[in-house]
Structure 1
Amino acid sequence: MSRNMFDRLVFMLAPNAIFHSPKKKHRHVKYQLATFLIRYGQRGSDVLDVASKLGIGLGTVHLYCHRVTRALRELR
């Protein structure tokens, strides 16, 4: 994916309410999208591999991928 396309996708996903919480600040959409792309864009890339590459927890990988998947499904 080109940098330009990545930035456009971040711009399209960012307004989605799933990335905003009044209680707890979420990591920026670009980090969540990058996590999603690393997990699903690489052959044989499992959650543990992604978590160790990015220095985040397994649950965080699942959470970011869930948010991005939901936001992508809600695009119109």
Structure 2
Amino acid sequence: MAERLAETAEDVSRLAFGFMASKALFAGLHVDVFSQLADGPKTAGAIAAATSVPVNRITTLMTALTAVGLVDREEE
């Protein structure tokens, strides 16, 4: 049994956000985004080309990774 039940909307949001953060991390690892960034910043287009993932999907993934604090975004 759980030590403590989720009692508030904030508790539920924290659980959901934690799940989304881990999914973003695993997706980034799966398509090798972090290796692409090891030598420095790259555009979404460059990452998409290197990983063979459509640029719109990379953009979405990079937005998620930025939101959870795993990467920084620089304006292009």
Q: TM-score, normalised by structure 2?
A: 0.45
- Which protein has greater RCO, CA pairs closer than 8 Å, 6+ apart? 1
When Rg is computed on C-alpha atoms for both structures, the one with the higher figure is 2
